[in-house]
Amino acid sequence: MSFFGNLFSSEKKESLDKGLQKTKESFFGKLGKAIAGKSTVDDEVLDNLEEILVSSDVGVETTLKIIERIQERVARDKYLGTSELNRILREEVASLLSENNASDVKNFDIPAGKKPFVIMVVGVNGVGKTTTIGKLSAQFKKNGKSVLLGAADTFRAAAVDQLKLWGQRVGIPVVAHGMNTDPSAVAFDAVKEGLEKGVDIIIIDTAGRLHTKVNLMAELTKIKRVMQKVIPDAPHEVLLVLDGSTGQNAMVQAREFTKATDVSALAITKLDGTAKGGVVIGISDEFKIPVKYIGVGEKVDDLQTFNKSEFVDSLFKGG
């Protein structure tokens, strides 16, 4: 039983354990080889650990930070053995994640006092953006919230159709004008309708790829400005969706989108199909933007709110 088991349902924890299995097996397989025949944490062990963390897509800056902290602990305790390295590493990763000042999200809650709560979702094509919106809206509805979706990714017909399918599947209305229409007009109509109908949450999908960063920034700024004609402080959250299986490419995307718009939360998808789950640690540390949701499977319930303690527990469980 996990020490943190009281925070999560057993089904969610099992899904998280399973979703991070590839990352865990890859990481601890490499770590076992790195410390084979070693009794103390010396420079060679630390060099090997650095290589393992970087290859697990934790990221160079975050890896160096972790190694430096472990070096300080080794210097304090001259008799630190390799048998304790797993525990120390776990503690340092947990500490890094905790330093990101956002608290864990529970049960897909939204802040009180914002109705409707407007979420603008951004991210490149192929990361699971529309699927994440569908799963997220289903979870919100399951949690007793009324939701309305806006299909403002009008550059791809598939994106509009996919969002409509999700709306039909989970019984949530979708405002859509079709392909090659003005995305900001869709956003305006969705926010206006959501306000008039008194829904709890409005989620606006946006285009995944425009030709240049300048176009991307201009489009997202225009969508924001148009929504603010209806609700002056909208959007209340800009959620960036990243594909965890792309590792360092997800870091690059995070850099580009944080330059283009004020990203306030992250969703990292497809962690179940990859050994690159370490990217969650690096992204959380580098951008200081809360990882709010993670995807660890295909089912609707496999989109989970990110719990730092549970993530670390699953990653290091039995390691």
Domain closes at, from 41, 65, 99: 99
Domain closes at, from 99, 133, 150: 99
What span, in angstroms and rounded, lies between the C-alpha atoms of 28 and 318?
A: 10
Is residue 255 within a helix (H) or strand (E), and if so which, with residue range? helix 248-260
Please check whether residues 136 and 91 belong to one and the same domain.
Answer: no
What span, in angstroms and rounded, lies between the C-alpha atoms of 247 and 57?
A: 5
| Beta strands 174-175 and 265-269, pairing class | unpaired
Is residue 147 within a helix (H) or strand (E), and if so which, with residue range? strand 147-152
- CATH code assigned at 27: 1.20.120.140
Per-residue pLDDT of the chain (319 residues; tens, 9 = 90+): 333 334 457 888 888 888 889 888 888 888 888 888 888 888 888 999 999 999 888 999 999 999 999 999 888 876 677 788 888 999 999 998 888 755 666 778 888 889 999 999 999 888 989 999 999 999 999 999 999 999 999 988 789 999 999 999 999 999 999 888 999 999 999 999 999 999 999 999 998 776 567 788 889 999 999 999 999 999 999 999 999 988 888 998 898 898 888 999 999 999 988 888 889 999 989 888 989 999 998 888 889 999 888 898 888 876 5
Please check whether residues 95 and 122 belong to one and the same domain.
Answer: no
Please check whether residues 94 and 174 belong to one and the same domain.
Answer: no
Domain closes at, from 72, 99, 126: 99
CB atoms near residue 3 (< 10 Å) = 9
| Beta strands 303-305 and 291-295, pairing class | antiparallel
Please check whether residues 188 and 285 belong to one and the same domain.
Answer: yes
Structurally, the chain folds into a number of domains equal to 2
What span, in angstroms and rounded, lies between the C-alpha atoms of 237 and 289?
A: 12
| Nearest alpha-carbon partner for 216 in 249, 162, 263, 179 | 263
Residue 212 DSSP code: S
What span, in angstroms and rounded, lies between the C-alpha atoms of 245 and 261?
A: 23
Inside any domain, residue 142: yes
> Helix or strand or coil: residue 99?
helix
Contact residues for 232 (Cβ-Cβ < 8 A; gap 6+):
none
* pTM of the predicted model as reported, rounded to 2 decimal places: 0.91
- CATH code assigned at 144: 3.40.50.300
Please check whether residues 37 and 126 belong to one and the same domain.
Answer: no
Please check whether residues 82 and 155 belong to one and the same domain.
Answer: no
Give strand pairing partners of 174: 149
Inside any domain, residue 4: no
Inside any domain, residue 155: yes
Contact residues for 252 (Cβ-Cβ < 8 A; gap 6+):
none
- Range of 70's domain? 10-99
Please check whether residues 68 and 212 belong to one and the same domain.
Answer: no
Please check whether residues 189 and 254 belong to one and the same domain.
Answer: yes
End-to-end CA distance of the chain: 15
Q: Are 236 and 119 in contact (CB under 8 A)?
A: yes
**At CB < 8 A and 24+ separation, what contacts does 73-80 make?**
74/41, 74/46, 79/40, 80/40, 80/41
As a residue count, the chain comes to 319
Q: Which tokens belong to 49?
A: 């650990």
Please check whether residues 168 and 303 belong to one and the same domain.
Answer: yes
Please check whether residues 175 and 276 belong to one and the same domain.
Answer: yes
